[in-house]
Amino acid sequence: MTNQPSPPWYREVNREQWRAFAATFLGWMLDAFDFTILTFILIDIQQSFTVDRALAGALGTVTLMFRLVGGLGAGMMADRYGRKLPLMLSILWFSLFAFLSGFSTSYAMLFAFRALFGIGMGGPWAAGMPLALEQWPARLRGLASGLLQGGWFWGYMLAALTFHYVYPLFSGLPDPLSDADGSTLGWRVMFWVGVVPALLVPWIRSGVSESPVWLERQRHLREAGAGSTAERMSILQLLRPDLLWATVQASILMGAFMFSYYSLSFWYPTFLREVGREPLGYLLAFNLGAVVGMALWGHASETRLGRRGAVAAAALTGVAAIPAYVGASGGATLALGAVVMGASGGGVWGMAPSYLTERFPTAVRGVGPGLSYHVGAALGSLTPFILGRLQDGGMTTGSAMTACIAVSGLLVASVVWLGPETRGRRFTATEA
C-alpha cells in the first residue's frame, strides 16, 4: 500500500486562520511603517528644530517607552473583550498620531505626539499575535511566528520605499510651519502618510473571526461560574508564583531583543547617508534578509534546536557579522553585511511571538506576552538616545552601533537560557 504524500503546510491552514494571520501581519507591518518613517528624517528634524542627536534619538526613546502603556492596556483588553477590538483601536490610534506628528511646530509638540503615538503602537502585537497564533496548528506555530514577525521588516521596507520615492517630491518645497533656514516640507509628508493604516480597520471588523480559543475560554468561564476580579483583570494573575518568573524573564529577554534591534536599525539610515551610500538598496537587503531569516529560524525552532537554541544561534551569528555590516567600506561588502545581519540579528525575532505566547496560559495570553514585550520595549527604549549620546561624545555612528550590537547580541544569546524550552506546547481553553 502506497502512502499518500503529505499536503504542503499552507494547505493545513484554513481560510479563517489565514484571515487572522493577515489581520495581524498587516497591522504589525503598518505599525512598523509608521514608526520607522522617523528613522529616515532625523536629520530633517534636527534642522527644523535645532536639536542635537541625543534629542533626535529621544523621539524614538519616548515612543518605545509609551509602547508599554499601550501594550499593557491592549493585552488586558484582549483577555477581557477579545483579541479583535484592541487590535482595531490600536491601529486607529497610532494612525491618528502619526498624522498629527506632521503638524508639529516645535520639538516639544513633536515629542508629545510621538509619546501618544507609542500608546497605539503597543497594541497590534499584544492583541494581534494571540489572535493569529491561537488559531494556527501547533506544529506550524514556529513558522507562523517567523512570518508574522517579518511583518515589521516589510513595514520597514515600505517606509524605505516611501522615503526614496515620495520624500524627494516634497523635499524642495519650503516648510510653511517652520522658520528654520533650509527646512522643507518633505519630513512632514512622511508623517502625514502615516494615516493610511486606518483603512485596514473596516476589513478587520467585518472579515476576521475572533480567536476560537478565547471564545471557548469565555464559554468555559460562564459554565464554571467564574468571574473573579483576578479573572476580569488578567494582569493580577501575573503575580502568581508560577507566572511571576515567566513574566520577569520574558521581559528581560525582550529588553535584550529591543536593545539589539534598535542598535541595528535606528541610526542605520543615518550611518549610510554619512558614508555616502544611498540607503534604499542596503535597507532592502537588510529587511529582505530579515524576512527570510525569521521564517528560516522560526522553522528551525521546530527542530531539535528548539526556541532557545535558534535564538542563541541567530544572535551569535549577528555578532559575527558586525565587521561587514558597519565596518566595511566597499559597497559589495556592506550589502553582504546587510543581508547576513538581517537574516541573523534581525532573524532572531522569528521566535519572539511563538516563545512569548507559549510561556503564558490562555487566561493571560494577551496581557502576559503584551506586558513582557512592551516592558522589553521600555527597557530597550534608551538605545536610540544612548547611540545619539555616544555620537555627541565623539564616536562615529558606525563605532557606536558596533559596541551596542555586540553587547546586545551576547545578552540575547544568554538570557534566553534562563527560561524553559516551550516548543510544541498546546493551547487549551481551560489553561488558567
Which of 170, 41, 30 lies closest to 104, judged by CA?
41
The grid coordinates listed for 55 are 534629542
Which of 308, 306, 335 lies closest to 415, judged by CA?
308
Q: CA 354, CA 141: separation in Å to the nearest integer?
A: 6
The pLDDT of residue 228 is above 60: no
The reported pLDDT for the residue numbered 234 is 63
Whose cell is 524642495? That residue is: 172
Q: Which long-range contacts (CB under 8 A, 24 or more apart) does 105-108 make?
A: 105/177, 105/178, 106/49, 107/45, 107/49, 107/51, 107/55
The reported pLDDT for the residue numbered 227 is 53
Residue spans of the domains in the chain: they are 16-224+240-418
The reported pLDDT for the residue numbered 243 is 87
CA–CA distances in Å: residue 307 to residues 300, 344, 419: 8, 14, 10
8-state DSSP, 104? -
The reported pLDDT for the residue numbered 431 is 58
The reported pLDDT for the residue numbered 2 is 52
The pLDDT of residue 73 is above 80: yes
- Helix, strand, coil fractions of the chain, as percent rounded to 5: 80, 0, 20
The pLDDT of residue 45 is above 60: yes
Question: Taking a C-beta distance cutoff of 8 angstroms, is the pair 45, 177 a contact?
Answer: no
The pLDDT of residue 241 is above 90: no
Question: Taking a C-beta distance cutoff of 8 angstroms, is the pair 196, 186 a contact?
Answer: no
Identity of the residue numbered 139: R
The reported pLDDT for the residue numbered 229 is 46
Which of 239, 235, 218 lies closest to 227, judged by CA?
218
Q: How much is the mean pLDDT over the chain? A: 87
- What value does the mean pLDDT take over residues 284-297? 91
CA–CA distances in Å: residue 89 to residues 123, 273, 306, 360: 8, 36, 35, 24
- C-alpha 269 chain-centroid distance: 18
Q: CA 152, CA 32: separation in Å to the nearest integer?
A: 5
Q: How far apart are the first and last CA of the chain?
A: 45
8-state DSSP, 351? G
Question: Taking a C-beta distance cutoff of 8 angstroms, is the pair 30, 155 a contact?
Answer: yes
Percent of the residues in the chain that have a pLDDT greater than 90, as a whole number: 41
The pLDDT of residue 230 is above 50: no
Q: CA 88, CA 242: separation in Å to the nearest integer?
A: 32
250 pLDDT band, cuts 50/70/90, is: very high
> At 184, phi and psi to the nearest 5?
-120, 170
Neighbour-count burial of 241, counting CB atoms closer than 10 A to its CB (0-12 exposed, 13-18 middle, 19+ buried): exposed
The reported pLDDT for the residue numbered 1 is 46
The grid coordinates listed for 322 are 558586525
Which of 419, 379, 355, 378 lies closest to 71, judged by CA?
378
Neighbour-count burial of 274, counting CB atoms closer than 10 A to its CB (0-12 exposed, 13-18 middle, 19+ buried): middle
Crossing angle for the helix pair 352-359 and 367-380, to the nearest 10 degrees: 130
The grid coordinates listed for 286 are 537588510
- C-alpha 313 chain-centroid distance: 20
**Which residues does residue 184 pair with via DSSP β-bridges, in sequence order?**
174
The pLDDT of residue 199 is above 60: yes
233 pLDDT band, cuts 50/70/90, is: low
The reported pLDDT for the residue numbered 290 is 92
Q: CA 24, CA 22: separation in Å to the nearest integer?
A: 5
Which of 318, 320, 419, 406 lies closest to 372, judged by CA?
419
When computed from its CA atoms, the radius of gyration of the chain, rounded to whole angstroms, is 21
Q: CA 227, CA 239: separation in Å to the nearest integer?
A: 18
Higher pLDDT, 251 or 136: 251
Percent of the residues in the chain that have a pLDDT greater than 70, as a whole number: 94
What is the CATH number assigned to the segment(s) 16-224+240-418? Answer: 1.20.1250.20
Which of 139, 111, 416, 401 lies closest to 252, judged by CA?
416
The reported pLDDT for the residue numbered 156 is 86
Identity of the residue numbered 306: G
**Which residues does residue 174 pair with via DSSP β-bridges, in sequence order?**
184
72 pLDDT band, cuts 50/70/90, is: confident
Q: Which of 4-13, 353-362, 390-399, 413-422 has the lowest mean pLDDT?
A: 4-13
Which of 73, 67, 43, 69 lies closest to 56, judged by CA?
43
